Amino acid sequence: MLGLAAATMTAMSCGSNEKAQKVLVLYYSQTSNTKTVAEEIATRLGADTEEIVAVAPYDGDFQATIGRCMQEREQGITPEIQPVQADLSQYDVIFLGYPIWFGTFAPPVATFLNQADLSGKKVVPFCTFGSGGLESSIKDLAEKQPQAKLLPGYGVRAARMAAVPQEVDQFLKAGDFLEGDYFQPEEFPEQHPVSEEEAAIFDAAVGDYPMIHAQAKAVASRNLQNGIEYLFTAADLPREENAKMPLASEIKVYVTLVEGEAPVFTRVVR
């Protein structure tokens, strides 16, 4: 879906005209969501895997994790991680996975990127999130590893983990990591002002999510295999409980609508 990619690996076939390449799936996961995606990728590719582990784990509840992360950000520090055991020099392709915290990769991944040299490696980001962050995390990743060859990434909302097997299959085929047919949607056409019906679809998709308080202004749509995907441009609205909170002006919200099901948003780009 995102357009936010079999041999027994050590090696896999990556593109019909390329030599077999050695692949590593390297990830950090706190709640197991990112681990689920990592295992799906590794199983389909037969790739080696390793987990990035914080020396002092983020093992508190949500608020405790957010509080610690905010404190670390304010102090300009990243958490210590256990040494990565894989010899990165032996891998051609590295799938790098992480949850999105504060709009980018979780701090243990920042520590890894500060320590590692991925120059010349093909790096495929994948992430899990509450609403979005794939695009912003890839931008940050490129700044930390400018000599890496970043490939298109995959992201999925924590509320949509059931979609992972099908989406990862399509992503890997689209990226030429697996052979087989995949669905490639057309580009979105030019956006137009939302109709009353389209506004209702937007409101239904984001209505139960507390971090989005916005009004759809413009939209474009395209066909999917099993439904329709909408790309909304929406304006942030003031929040009564925090009227002084600055607005983000415009956000992009992707929504899918499958016949017989309620509309769901798949990611937000801020």
The pLDDT tens digits for 75-91 are 888 999 999 999 999 99
Place of tokens 């990862």: 168
pLDDT score for 211: 86
Query: Which pTM does this prediction carry?
Result: 0.89
62 — pLDDT class (breaks 50, 70, 90) = confident
* Three-point CA angle 88, 94, 96, nearest 5°: 110
Residue type, 168: V
191 — pLDDT class (breaks 50, 70, 90) = very high
- Mean pLDDT value of segment 142-159: 98
**What is d(CA 117, CA 155) in angstroms, rounded to the nearest whole number?**
24
**What is d(CA 246, CA 198) in angstroms, rounded to the nearest whole number?**
27
**What is d(CA 224, CA 213) in angstroms, rounded to the nearest whole number?**
27
**What is d(CA 15, CA 136) in angstroms, rounded to the nearest whole number?**
28
Ranges of each domain in the chain: 23-174, 192-269
Burial status of residue 141 (CB atoms within 10 A of its CB: 0-12, 13-18, 19 or more): buried
184 — pLDDT class (breaks 50, 70, 90) = very high
The residues with which 100 forms a beta bridge, in sequence order, are: 105
CB 123 within 8 A of CB 151: yes
Cα dihedral 139/220/159/151 (nearest 10): -30
2 — pLDDT class (breaks 50, 70, 90) = very low
Asked if pLDDT for residue 16 goes beyond 60, the answer is no
pLDDT score for 19: 55
**What is d(CA 87, CA 190) in angstroms, rounded to the nearest whole number?**
47
Q: Kindly give, in sequence order, each residue whose CB lies less than 8 Å from that of residue 221, ignoring residues fewer than 6 positions away.
A: 188, 189, 228, 229, 230, 231
Mean pLDDT of the chain: 90
pLDDT score for 5: 38
pLDDT score for 239: 63
Q: How many residues are present in the chain?
A: 270
Q: Please give the backbone phi and psi of residue 39, each rounded to the nearest 5 degrees, phi first.
A: -65, -35
Asked if pLDDT for residue 203 goes beyond 80, the answer is yes
CATH number of 23-174: 3.40.50.360
pLDDT tens figures, 247-258: 557 899 999 999
| Beta strands at 104-105 and 250-258: parallel, antiparallel or unpaired | unpaired
Residue type, 228: I
Q: What is the DSSP string of 234-267?
A: EEE--BTTBTTSPP-SEEEEEEEEETTS--EEEE
**What is d(CA 165, CA 144) in angstroms, rounded to the nearest whole number?**
30
101 — pLDDT class (breaks 50, 70, 90) = very high
pLDDT score for 6: 33
Asked if pLDDT for residue 8 goes beyond 60, the answer is no
The three-class DSSP label of residue 27 is strand
- Structure tokens that stand for 143 in this block: 């700044």
